[in-house]
Structure 1
Amino acid sequence: MSVKIFDRPDVQEFLTVLSGLDKAGGSPRMKEITHRLMTDLFRAIDDLNITPDEYWTGIAWLNDIGAAGQAGLISPGLGLDHFIDERLDAIDAAIGIENPTPRTIEGPLYVAGAPESVGFARLDDGRDIEGQTLIMHGVVHGADGKPLPGAKVEVWHCDTRGFYSHFDPTGLQAPFNMRRTIFADENGRYKFQSILPSGYGVPPGSPTERLLSALGRHGQRPAHIHFFISADGHRKLTTQINIEGDPLINDDFAYATREGLVPRVMERDDEASIHANNLNGPFAEIEWDIYLTALVDGVDNQVNEQRKRAAA
Structure 2
Amino acid sequence: MSIDLTENSITKAVQCTFDGCHDARTRELFLTLVRHLHDFTREVRLTGEEWFTAMDFLERVGKITTETRQEYVLISDILGVSVLVDLINDQSRPCTTDSTLLGPFYVEGRPTAPNGADISGDVPGMPLFFTGRVVSPAGDPIPGARVDTWHSDGDGHYDVQQAERLHGRLAMRALLTTDEEGRFWYRSIAPRYYPVPTDGPGGEIIRATGRSPMRPEHIHFWFHAEGYDPLITMLFRSDDPYLACDPVFAVRRSLIVDFVQHDPGAAPDGTVVDEPFQTVDWTFTLSPAR
- State the shift of 1:262 in Å: 1.4
Using a 3 Å threshold, how does the CA distance of structure 1 residues 283 and 147 change in structure 2: closer, same or farther?
A: same
The answer (yes or no) to whether the contact 2:116–2:269 under 8 Å persists in 1 is no
Instruction: Report the 3-state secondary structure (helix = DSSP H, G, I; strand = E; otherwise coil) of the residue aligned with 2:223.
Output: strand
Using a 3 Å threshold, how does the CA distance of structure 1 residues 254 and 197 change in structure 2: closer, same or farther?
A: same
The answer (yes or no) to whether the contact 2:99–2:231 under 8 Å persists in 1 is yes
Q: Which moved more, 1:30-39 or 1:246-255?
A: 30-39
- Structure 2 match to 1:308: none
TM-score (norm 1): 0.83
- Structure 2 match to 1:305: none
- Structure 2 match to 1:236: 230
The answer (yes or no) to whether the contact 1:6–1:42 under 8 Å persists in 2 is no
In structure 2, what is the Cα distance between the partners aligned to 1:112 and 1:264?
Answer: 28
- State the shift of 1:270 in Å: 5.7
The answer (yes or no) to whether the contact 2:264–2:274 under 8 Å persists in 1 is no
Is 1:47 the counterpart of 2:46 in the alignment? Answer: no
In structure 2, what is the Cα distance between the partners aligned to 1:201 and 1:234?
Answer: 34
- State the shift of 1:236 in Å: 0.5
- State the shift of 1:158 in Å: 1.3
Q: RMSD between aligned alpha carbons? A: 2.1
- Structure 2 match to 1:176: 170
Q: Which amino acid aligns with 1:106?
A: L
In structure 2, what is the Cα distance between the partners aligned to 1:274 and 1:43?
Answer: 58
Q: Which amino acid aligns with 2:270?
A: A
Is 1:141 the counterpart of 2:135 in the alignment? Answer: yes
Structure 2 runs not aligned, ≥5 long? 1-5, 66-70
- Structure 1 match to 2:14: 15
Is 1:125 the counterpart of 2:121 in the alignment? Answer: yes
- State the shift of 1:274 in Å: 7.2
- State the shift of 1:99 in Å: 4.4
**Structure 1 segments of 4 or more deviating over 6 A?**
none
- Structure 2 match to 1:284: 278
Q: Which amino acid aligns with 1:47?
A: E
- Structure 1 match to 2:3: none
- State the shift of 1:278 in Å: 4.3
Is 1:271 the counterpart of 2:265 in the alignment? Answer: yes
Q: Which amino acid aligns with 1:137?
A: T
Q: Which moved more, 1:241-250 or 1:283-292?
A: 241-250
- State the shift of 1:212 in Å: 1.9
In structure 2, what is the Cα distance between the partners aligned to 1:67 and 1:179?
Answer: 28
Is 1:255 the counterpart of 2:249 in the alignment? Answer: yes
In structure 2, what is the Cα distance between the partners aligned to 1:279 and 1:78?
Answer: 43
The answer (yes or no) to whether the contact 2:95–2:137 under 8 Å persists in 1 is no
- Residues 37-116 of structure 1 mapped to structure 2, 5 A cutoff: 37-69=33-65, 70-89=71-90, 97-116=93-112
Using a 3 Å threshold, how does the CA distance of structure 1 residues 199 and 170 change in structure 2: closer, same or farther?
A: farther
The answer (yes or no) to whether the contact 2:220–2:234 under 8 Å persists in 1 is yes
Q: Which amino acid aligns with 1:28?
A: A
Using a 3 Å threshold, how does the CA distance of structure 1 residues 148 and 133 change in structure 2: closer, same or farther?
A: same
Q: Which amino acid aligns with 2:132?
A: G
- Structure 1 match to 2:188: 194
The answer (yes or no) to whether the contact 1:154–1:228 under 8 Å persists in 2 is yes
Alpha-carbon deviations, 1:153-173, whole Å to 9, x = none? 100011123221223265436
What is the percent sequence identity of the aligned residues?
28
- State the shift of 1:284 in Å: 0.5
Instruction: Report the 3-state secondary structure (helix = DSSP H, G, I; strand = E; otherwise coil) of the residue aligned with 2:132.
Output: strand
The answer (yes or no) to whether the contact 1:201–1:220 under 8 Å persists in 2 is yes
Using a 3 Å threshold, how does the CA distance of structure 1 residues 217 and 59 change in structure 2: closer, same or farther?
A: same
Alpha-carbon deviations, 1:110-139, whole Å to 9, x = none? 0012222333231112332xx211101021
In structure 2, what is the Cα distance between the partners aligned to 1:279 and 1:146?
Answer: 33
The answer (yes or no) to whether the contact 2:149–2:220 under 8 Å persists in 1 is yes
Q: Which amino acid aligns with 2:14?
A: L
TM-score (norm 2): 0.89
- Structure 2 match to 1:28: 24
